[in-house]
Amino acid sequence: MAVNREERRTFEKISSLYDRARISYPTQLIDDIVTYSGIRLNGRILDVGCGTGQVTHLLAQRGYHVTGLDVGKEMIDVAKEKCSAFPKVSFKVGTFEDATFSDASLDIITSGMAWHWINPERREEKAYRILRSGGTLALFWSYQRKEESDFVKAVGNVLDKYGGANRGPAGSKVRQISDTLYKKLKGSQSFNSVEMREYNEDFEFSKKRYVDLIVSYGWVQVLSEEKRRNLVDDLQKLYKRYEEPLIIPYKYVLVLAKKS
Ligand SMILES: C[S@@+](CC[C@H](N)C(=O)[O-])C[C@H]1O[C@@H](n2cnc3c(N)ncnc32)[C@H](O)[C@@H]1O
């Protein structure tokens, strides 16, 4: 997917909305990254596109040295607050493309819902350079399993009207991104032991939080104010047919690879 710079910049403006709307990641997914990597407790992790610290926080709780990197300063401000109890965690504001890290210095690079925002011409090459030999690249995404939820299907029909066909939260683009990356890494000499793992988890949403979630998507942020208001009105109409809490079935896809 080509990076839409206008959409990418929207995260900076909505850090608190993002933080209250977006979901976290399954414990099993984080455990699997740790086990697959064989990282020791003094190991170093870089969390690329850390946003408001969803992944950074889960790794910090396990006691590792983690650096959260994000281009959005306001996202980092929220992440810093969230991780303030963990002295081994630090943050950098900047792009992955331009940030400086020593060669072969990292045990794991994680990126949740963010790798597709990084320049595809440079990202795997840079990850290869800064990972230690045998270091782990762990890239993951989530999307809603619309085939298992009438509500998510109905939301998809609403979003289609606003140019959101195949976009979040039930968008097939996420699936496409992870499948393409898996194939690319499989075919690369620079990485080995490439695996793809999947996890299912259901989340409860209030109607308010679900609207926030939709509004937190980059492509919704760049709609005109009028269109965004209409979209929210359409969701409110749809809500009349559903009870709270909304039960949303999620799929997580994790792509793992080791530096050769
Ligand atoms: C969808 S959010 C994911 C945040 C968090 N990792 C999560 O799982 O919720 C994508 C994040 O990537 C950041 N981002 C986009 N392009 C980036 C780049 N080139 N370098 C670093 N961060 C970037 C955005 O600012 C945003 O915070």
**Cα–Cα distances in Å, from 178 out to 142, 248, 253, 259?**
10, 21, 7, 18
DSSP string, 58-94: HHHTTT-EEEEEES-HHHHHHHHHHTTT-TTEEEEES
pLDDT digits (tens, 9 = 90+) for 105-157: 999 999 999 999 999 999 999 999 999 999 999 999 999 998 999 999 999 99
pLDDT class for 89, splitting at 50, 70, 90?
very high
pLDDT digits (tens, 9 = 90+) for 3-52: 566 676 777 778 988 899 888 999 999 999 999 999 999 999 999 999 99
List phi, psi (to 5°) of 17. Answer: -60, -45
Right CATH number for 5-149+169-202+249-259 from 3.40.50.150, 3.40.50.300, 3.20.20.70, 3.30.420.40? Answer: 3.40.50.150
243 CA → ligand 1 middle, Å: 32
pLDDT class for 2, splitting at 50, 70, 90?
low
Q: Span 53-65, mean pLDDT?
A: 97
Higher model confidence: residue 85 or residue 8?
A: 85
Q: Is the pTM of the predicted complex or chain greater than 0.85?
A: yes
* pLDDT, position 170: 73
* pLDDT, position 163: 84
pLDDT digits (tens, 9 = 90+) for 196-231: 999 999 999 999 999 999 999 888 999 999 999 999
Annotated domain spans of the chain: 5-149+169-202+249-259
CA distance 112 to 56: 10
* pLDDT, position 162: 92
* pLDDT, position 64: 97
pLDDT digits (tens, 9 = 90+) for 235-249: 999 999 999 999 999
- Using CB distances shorter than 6 Å, the residues near ligand 1 are 8, 11, 22, 48-51, 54-55, 69-72, 75, 95-97, 112-114, 117-118
256 CA → ligand 1 middle, Å: 19
Residue 67 pLDDT > 60, yes or no?
Answer: yes
* pLDDT, position 167: 75
* pLDDT, position 16: 87
DSSP 148: G
* pLDDT, position 229: 96
- Nearest one of 132, 103, 136, 139 to 118, comparing CA atoms: 139
190 CA → ligand 1 middle, Å: 24
* pLDDT, position 4: 65
CA distance 22 to 141: 12
DSSP string, 199-247: EEEEEEE-HHHHHHHHHTSHHHHTS-HHHHHHHHHHHHHHHTTSPSSEE
CA distance 150 to 153: 5
Backbone angle region of 210, left / alpha / beta, with phi > 0 → left and psi within -120 to 50 → alpha:
alpha
Residue 1 pLDDT > 70, yes or no?
Answer: no
Helix, coil or strand: residue 57: helix
Nearest atom in ligand 1 to the alpha carbon of residue 12 is 25
pLDDT digits (tens, 9 = 90+) for 181-202: 999 999 999 999 999 999 999 9
- Nearest one of 234, 30, 76, 252 to 67, comparing CA atoms: 76
- Mean pLDDT value across the chain: 93
Q: Span 247-256, mean pLDDT?
A: 96
* pLDDT, position 169: 77
Here the tokens at position 135 are 């270091």
